[in-house]
C-alpha cells in the first residue's frame, strides 16, 4: 500500500543527494550558525504575562504557512518554466545513473526538500506548542523539563532556521536554471 510512497521518497532523496548532500550543505551550516546566535530565543520560552508565553514556536507558526504557500506557488511556476525543447533538454537522463538524475529532477528535488523541511518545521512547532503545559503527573519529570524544552527548541527552531536558509538554496538553483535557459536561447554559431 505504501510502496509507491516510499519509492518516490527514495527517488527524491537520491536526486537530492542523500545524507552526504545534506551534511555538506552550506545552507544547513548557515542554519546551525544562526541557531547558535539565537540561543536565547529557543532555549526557553519567556513568560510575558500570567499564562502568556513568548516562545519560538509562535514565530515558526506565523511565518512558515506563508512561506510554504509561496514555495508551492514558485514550484508550480517553475514546472511551466521555459519552452518544451528546453524542458526536454533538462530532463535528459545523465549516463550511468540508476535513477534519472537530470537537472530537471534535481531542481524538483531541491524544491521538494525545501517543502519537506518547511512542513516538518511547522509540525515541530505545532507539537511543541501543544506540549507546553504542566500537569501533576509530570512532577517526576520536573528536573528534566528545562533540558527537554531546550532540546525541543534546538530541534524545532533549528528546523525553522534551516527552512529559512533553504529559501536561498532553492532560489540559487532556480537562478542556475535561468542562466542555463539564457544560454540555451543564445544563437548557436
Q: What is the pLDDT of residue 145?
A: 83
Q: Contact, 13 vs 6, CB < 8 A?
A: no
User: Does position 98 have pLDDT exceeding 60, yes or no?
Assistant: no
pLDDT of residue 83: 66
Closest CA to 158 of 24, 57, 58: 57
- Reply yes or no on whether the pLDDT at 89 is more than 80: no
Q: 110 burial class (0-12, 13-18, 19+ CB within 10 angstroms)? A: buried
Q: Check whether 90 has a pLDDT greater than 70.
A: no
Write down the pTM of the prediction. Answer: 0.83
| Mean pLDDT to the nearest integer, 172-187 | 79
Res 138 pLDDT > 90:
no
Q: Which of 174, 169, 147, 151 is nearest to 29 (CA)?
A: 169
Query: Would the pLDDT of 41 be above 70?
Result: yes
Q: Break the chain down into helix, strand, coil percent, rounded to 5.
A: 75, 5, 20
On the question of pLDDT at 155 being above 90, the answer is yes
Of residues 72 and 33, the one with the higher pLDDT is 33
More confident: 10 or 97: 10
Interatomic CA distance for residues 124 and 101, integer angstroms: 31
Question: Given a cut of 90, is residue 113 above it in pLDDT?
Answer: yes
Section 3-20 average pLDDT: 92
Taking residues 20-49, what's their average pLDDT?
91
Question: Is pLDDT of 24 > 90?
Answer: yes
User: Across all residues in the chain, what is the average pLDDT?
Assistant: 85
The DSSP 8-state label assigned to residue 85 in this structure reads H
Is the pLDDT at 123 greater than 60? The verdict is: yes
For range 144-157, the mean pLDDT: 91
Provide the pLDDT confidence category of residue 102 given band limits of 50, 70 and 90.
Answer: confident
Judged by DSSP in three states, 48 sits in: strand
Amino acid at each position: 500500500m505504501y510502496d509507491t510512497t516510499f519509492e518516490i521518497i527514495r527517488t527524491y532523496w537520491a536526486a537530492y543527494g542523500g545524507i552526504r548532500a545534506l551534511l555538506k550543505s552550506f545552507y544547513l551550516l548557515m542554519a546551525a550558525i544562526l541557531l547558535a546566535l539565537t540561543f536565547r530565543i529557543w532555549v526557553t520560552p519567556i513568560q510575558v504575562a500570567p499564562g502568556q508565553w513568548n516562545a519560538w514556536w509562535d514565530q515558526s507558526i506565523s511565518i512558515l504557512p506563508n512561506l510554504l504557500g509561496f514555495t508551492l506557488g514558485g514550484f508550480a511556476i517553475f514546472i511551466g518554466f521555459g519552452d518544451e525543447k528546453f524542458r526536454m533538454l533538462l530532463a535528459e537522463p545523465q549516463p550511468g545513473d540508476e535513477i534519472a538524475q537530470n537537472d530537471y529532477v534535481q531542481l524538483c528535488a531541491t524544491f521538494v526538500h525545501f517543502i519537506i523541511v518547511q512542513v516538518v518545521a511547522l509540525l515541530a512547532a505545532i507539537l511543541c506548542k501543544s506540549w507546553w503545559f504542566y500537569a501533576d503527573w509530570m512532577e517526576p519529570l520536573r528536573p528534566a523539563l528545562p533540558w527537554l524544552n531546550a532540546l525541543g527548541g534546538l530541534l524545532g527552531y533549528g528546523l525553522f532556521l534551516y527552512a529559512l536558509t533553504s529559501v536561498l538554496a532553492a532560489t540559487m538553483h532556480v537562478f542556475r536554471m535561468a542562466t542555463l535557459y539564457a544560454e540555451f536561447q543564445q544563437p548557436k554559431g
